[in-house]
A and B are shown apart, each in its own frame.
Chain A
Amino acid sequence: MSAPASLTARRAIALVARREFVVQVVKKSFLVSNAVVVLAIIGGIVAFGVFSGDDEGEKVGLVAEAGALAGPLAATGESLGTPVDTSEVADADEARAQVADGDLEVALLPAPDGSGGVVAVTESELEPELRAVVETTVTALAQRAALDEAGVDPDAVAARVAEAGVRVDALDPPEPDSGQRTFLAFTAVILMFGQLIGFGTYVAMGVVEEKSSRVVELLLSTIRPLHLLWGKILGIGAVGLLQLAVYGVAGIAAGTATGVLTVTGAAVGVFVSVLGWFVLGFALFAVLYAAAGSMVSRQEDVNSTTGPLLLLILAMYGVGFAAVGDPDGTLSAVLSWVPPFSAVLMPLRVAAGVAPLSQVVGTVLLMLLVTAVLAWGASKVYQRSVLRTGSQVAWREALGLARRT
């Protein structure tokens, strides 16, 4: 039974890619480490949500007549950016006990002299922010009472006073939710950095594994080197993409559910751009990593040829880090056009909301162009080196510069 030995290029690449994907995702270490990371993402966000306590203000206990302060305190707290959470407490002793236990930040008792002021009971000292809230509230109420007594309409006074407020004319106003956006940008940089190094290394290691185990000789007696190369890159890249997607979905879902993340639209945009730029960045680095891996025969030598790539990615990381604080600065604006730096700077600029569509399209095209050129060169190196065993293939030879013998 002589079966027809037809094997299209597509099927050859698909077979290799399938193997790479399956081997990677069923690896126990891979599954465990990813489960840990996903739990850490969700746990971290939930913990952040609990401890940052955006919805929970400072706990203020109000005793007897001081209970009337509840509404004004909450309003003042809101306007001063120090939200307070008031509760009624039965008597002074109870209030002191709760403060001592730490259940209350401060307890307000009516001043014993009947002046309308309050006594603030606190553990050791009253934080300045909270003190400001309490003092402003009490003073304002006293003023209103005094004005009222003097026969002046307190509301009219308040309206007049409000007119004389300070109007801020900012030259560079902060973006709304800039904190969250910076955090997103930062996350994008870290993710891109980790994924590119991690999966680039997987590609190099995979190439070396085939070389050192000599299975490459068996493989290349039935498929072309380029099919093996692209199958490997596609398979491992798909794992990287899947992993990113899982992290992103876990992060966004946890962030939205806990209320930590309120700019969900922006987050999804960043997420999609990170996925897209990972594909581009990975394609660029994977061919380089494969070429670097093909030049050595032993796993322990792989660092000697992948070193320059690691340096390049570290440089990207450094630039990305520097640009997080100022995504629209000169450094970021210029380098975001330069592959491979665009792979890390563009998601960051998208996160910061400073990347116009024209730039996204332009940088993607540039990146594709550079990747195509590098892929052509790297695949030549790979083909020249992958069957060479023994000592490391010299750069001159790998690049085809040496005289052919």
Chain B
Amino acid sequence: MAEDGRGLEIDGVSKRYGEVTALADMTFTVAPGELFGFVGSNGAGKTTTMRIALGVLAADAGEVRLGGRPVDLEVRRRIGYMPEERGLYPKMKVGAQLAYLAELHGLMRADARAAVARWTERLDIAHRVDDAVESLSLGNQQRVQLAAALVHDPDVLVLDEPFSGLDPVAVDVMSDVLAEKRSEGVPVIFSSHQLDLVERICDRVGIVVAGRMSAVGTVEELRHAGAVQVEVHAPQAPPGWVDAVPGARVVQETDGRTLVELGPDGDDQALLAAALRTGPVHSFTRRRPSLTELFREVVSA
């Protein structure tokens, strides 16, 4: 699936609920072997996009393709899915449940059992396979849910908020598993509100605002796309020293430290020269906005 290099394509997907537009021309691609982070405010349309990709919800317009092929039921069986609303039979045993789900995804019984053994071992829930799901802690239920998404060895992973409710150890396990699937050439898309985590592990990030993909790219690209901020420590600089520099704007000024934002026509070397004219410059630091700041900026724009 991954070998043709096209991965998972969300192409112009739209969805309306009556007067409310949930998704408007949502378009992006997750390449094979890419870990794609999907961020956005609550209600921005992340879950709707994923549910449409899984065929649980029908789109009004647009198409979802995997490896160039429109996603139908047969293709969908090759997707590993973790719904936002966690869903497992509460009274069914962990092992039996995972084997059942694996079989529903097309595995033969023996293969299903082997896969269950492998993934419960990997996710450290092997000792609970004979317990009912409802008797597990929420964190362990989450691991079972992940196992349910992985147990049929999917060609794509679509995970809605996989990190929510996990303890730090489980977060590491989850991150490792995602990285492992990425290295196998599987396109992985997941949504999260933990932006520092997304920034750390994702290859590319998409920021969704009001049903549209507002910004998409690597974290680096997104940082560069935004306005550049420079922190200048020039103790003798008088107030208003920046005003002469074209395209520069003071964001914050405290105690000889000035945070300056440079617009598209701004030149950081001109700013440095202006700073040096005021006296000594102890530091001159180009600041990269964090994903959190970018996110705030994109969302509030």
**Interface residue ranges, A against B (CB under 8 Å):** 1-7, 12, 15-16, 19, 23, 209-210, 213-224, 387, 389, 405
Known: A7-B77, A214-B86, A222-B76. 9 other contacts (CB 8 A): A2-B153, A5-B74, A5-B105, A6-B106, A15-B104, A16-B104, A23-B92, A213-B87, A218-B87
| Distance from B187 Cβ to chain A, minimum over Cβ atoms (Å) | 13
Whether A218 pairs with B153 at a CB distance below 8 angstroms is no
Find out whether the CB atom of B105 lies under 8 angstroms from the CB atom of A209.
no
Tell whether, in the assembled complex, residue B107 and residue A216 are in contact, meaning their CB atoms are under 8 Å apart.
no
Residues of chain A with a CB closer than 8 A to B85's CB = 214, 217, 389
What are the residues of chain A within 8 A of B111 when measuring CB–CB? 3
Query: In the complex, which residues of chain B have a beta carbon less than 8 angstroms from the beta carbon of A6?
Result: 74, 106
B233 to chain A, nearest CB (A): 54
Among A1, A23, A217, A222, contact of B87 (Cβ-Cβ < 8 Å): A217
* Contact segment of B54-62, B198-206, B251-259, B277-285: B54-62
Give the Cβ gap from B28 to chain A, nearest Cβ, in Å: 20
Whether the pair B87, A19 counts as a contact (CB closer than 8 A) is: no
Residues on the B chain within 8 Å of A4, using CB: 106
Q: A405 and B104 in contact (CB under 8 A), knowing A209-B89, A222-B76?
A: no
CA–CA, A15 and B76, complex, Å: 18
Is the contact region of chain A dominated by helix, strand, or loop, or is it mixed? loop
- B88 part of interface (Cβ distance < 8 Å): yes
Q: When the two chains form the complex, which single residue of A19, A213, A220 contacts B88, counting CB atoms closer than 8 Å?
A: A213
Main SS at interface, chain B: loop
Q: Would A221 and B76 count as touching, CB distance under 8 A? A: yes
Q: What's the nearest-Cβ distance from chain A to residue B183, in Å?
A: 15
| Least CB distance, A42 to chain B, in whole angstroms | 31
Whether A222 contacts B77 by the Cβ 8 Å rule is yes
Enumerate B137-191 residues with CB–CB distance to A below 8 Å: 148, 152-153, 155
Known interface pairs A23-B92, A215-B88, A218-B87; A223-B1 also in contact (CB < 8 Å): no
Q: Which of A15, A214, A221 is in CB contact (< 8 Å) with B54?
A: A221
With a cutoff of 8 Å between Cβ atoms, the chain A residues found around residue B75 in the complex are 5
Shortest CB–CB separation between residue A20 and chain B, in angstroms? 11
A387 adjacent to B77 (CB under 8 Å): no
Among B51, B105, B153, B155, point to the contact of A222 (Cβ < 8 A): B105
Q: List 6 A-B contacts (CB under 8 A).
A: A3-B106, A3-B153, A210-B89, A218-B88, A221-B55, A222-B105
> Across the interface, which residues of A come within 8 angstroms of B55, CB to CB?
220-221
Assess whether B101 is interfacial by the CB under 8 Å rule.
yes
Task: Contacts A215-B89, A218-B83 given; indicate if A3 touches B148 (C-beta within 8 A).
Answer: no
5 residue pairs, one from A and one from B, having the closest CB atoms: A214-B87, A5-B77, A215-B87, A5-B106, A214-B85
